[in-house]
């Protein structure tokens, strides 16, 4: 099981009054969701050679990327408004400084048609959420060689010549998260808040790795999000965030999460009390036909 699973058990094994007060604080002051969105299709998708003469951070969206960003914005509006039933939601955007991420965010908002100004608490450009640095202008053939070498060496520790390793990106994403956690603990948010992070595929994976304390081996097995794909971390009944509250378990499997990583997400989604109760029921039940998918079905609402 991912390391954080053991931390989760140890921290919540005994339900004291202090635990109850901490849980009450989390449910009142922690954002309801943290949604990670990869940018839309860009000029690189049409012609990778553009990287030879346009700086990576200036790469723009193409028409398909604009369309998909608007569609994603509407989907996320449905999520945070709970299919239109919730009106008191707020959103706060964190965005990488790249042109394609800023354009993705702008198209998601869609000039106020999807997210009106009254719902947007703020937009914060965050340099620590930028793309992995591959050097300056990038020769296409050399870029292909680098990717092949990285796959042989290992994605996390391989350092791009004149650029960054995934470990470097992990370190700066970690400093961003440590600041975010301090903000959460100091009551700077409320439960009506939804944080929307618009960034890059690798950066999103490393965000999740840090958040859930996944190991390097577990990171190596993860699939990169596709353009405009999103990951929803939702606050569960025990004050823990989980991917399993919104997304279906088969999708977590497709994204490269192991069975143990998925079990950790289920614990977070249900709360430890409910998880232990279910374990007791399973142990005493003679019905061997019930699958793990059926036992967590109520916690999955991923529409994709």
Q: Give binding residues for substrate as ranges.
A: 38-45, 100
116 as an active site residue: the answer is no
Annotation: binding site: 38-45, 100
Q: How many helices (H) and strands (E) does the chain have?
A: 13, 6
Report yes or no: 299 and 269 within 8 Å, Cβ to Cβ: yes
The sheet with strand 230-235 has its strands ordered as 120-125, 90-95, 193-199, 33-38, 230-235, 241-242
List the catalytic residue out of 39, 200, 246, 247. Answer: 39
Enumerate residues 6+ apart whose C-beta is below 8 A from 87: 81
| CA dihedral sign of residues 87, 92, 96, 102 | positive
Helix, strand, coil percent content, the chain, rounded in steps of 5? 50, 10, 35
39 as an active site residue: the answer is yes
Q: Is 300 helix (H, G, I), strand (E, B) or coil?
A: coil
Tell me the HSE value of 77 on the side-chain side, using a 13 A CA sphere: 19
- Give the tokens for residue 46: 């049409």
Q: Is 197 helix (H, G, I), strand (E, B) or coil?
A: strand
- Give the tokens for residue 299: 């916690």
List the catalytic residue out of 106, 107, 126, 131. Answer: 131
Which residues are known catalytic residues? Answer: 39, 131
């Amino acid at each position: 099981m991912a390391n954080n699973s053991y931390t989760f058990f140890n921290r919540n094994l005994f339900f004291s009054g202090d635990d109850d007060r901490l849980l009450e604080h989390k449910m009142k002051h922690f954002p309801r969701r943290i949604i990670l969105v990869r940018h839309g299709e860009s000029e690189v998708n049409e012609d990778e050679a553009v990287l030879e003469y346009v700086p990576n951070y200036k790469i723009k969206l193409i028409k398909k990327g604009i369309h998909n960003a608007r569609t994603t914005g509407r989907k996320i509006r449905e999520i945070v408004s709970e299919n239109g039933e919730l009106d008191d939601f707020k959103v706060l955007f964190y965005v990488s400084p790249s042109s394609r991420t800023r354009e993705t965010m702008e198209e998601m908002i869609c000039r106020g048609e999807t997210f009106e100004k009254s719902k947007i608490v703020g937009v914060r450009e965050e340099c620590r959420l930028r793309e992995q640095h591959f050097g300056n202008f990038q020769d296409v053939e050399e870029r292909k060689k680098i990717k092949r070498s990285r796959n042989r060496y290992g994605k996390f520790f391989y350092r791009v010549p004149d650029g960054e390793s995934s470990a470097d990106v992990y370190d700066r994403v970690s400093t961003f998260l440590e600041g975010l956690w301090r903000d959460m603990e100091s009551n700077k948010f409320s439960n009506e808040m939804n944080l929307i992070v618009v960034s890059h595929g690798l950066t999103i994976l490393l965000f999740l790795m840090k958040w859930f304390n996944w190991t390097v081996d577990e990171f190596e097995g993860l699939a990169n999000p596709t353009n405009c794909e999103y990951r929803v971390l939702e606050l569960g009944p025990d004050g823990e965030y989980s991917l399993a509250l919104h997304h279906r378990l088969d999708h977590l499997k497709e994204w490269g999460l192991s069975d143990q990583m998925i079990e950790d997400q289920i614990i977070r989604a249900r709360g430890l009390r409910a998880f232990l109760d279910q374990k007791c029921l399973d142990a005493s039940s003679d019905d061997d036909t019930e699958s793990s998918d059926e036992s967590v079905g109520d916690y999955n609402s991923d529409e994709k």
